[in-house]
Amino acid sequence: MKLLTEEIRKKLPPLYSQENLGGKAVVYVKFFTPDSNWTFWATEFDGKDIFFGLVEGHCKELGYFSLSELQGLRGPLGLPVERDLYWRPKRLEEIAPELFTLTDPTE
């Protein structure tokens, strides 16, 4: 499976273009390991190798990951990373509301 098609590549905004949007940033592509709990949601791409987005493994965190890293990654059963073929763009706050919901400390 090709992890990044030309169509998806064209939709992904450049790095730093959504950085001021917080939870409103749009996730355009989802990658996952079918034999473990690791998932990578990409919001931006440098056009070559580096993505920015949400990574869920041991915990959920925002950060950078690379296409070459995903292409070489294998889960515990040796299965490669896949792209979610049925993914439709969503905002980060829909995927990880706990990272973007502000709570009132007085409550």
Question: Per the structure, how many domains does the chain have?
Answer: 1
List the chain pLDDT tens, one digit each, 107 residues.
899 999 999 999 999 999 999 999 999 999 999 999 999 999 999 999 999 999 999 999 999 999 999 999 999 999 999 999 999 999 999 999 999 876 545 55
Task: Judge whether 1 lies within some domain.
Answer: no
Task: Judge whether 84 lies within some domain.
Answer: yes
Task: Judge whether 105 lies within some domain.
Answer: no
Handedness of CA 50, 51, 55, 60 (dihedral sign): positive
Q: Which domain holds residue 73?
A: 6-100
Q: Show the tokens assigned to 92.
A: 């980060």
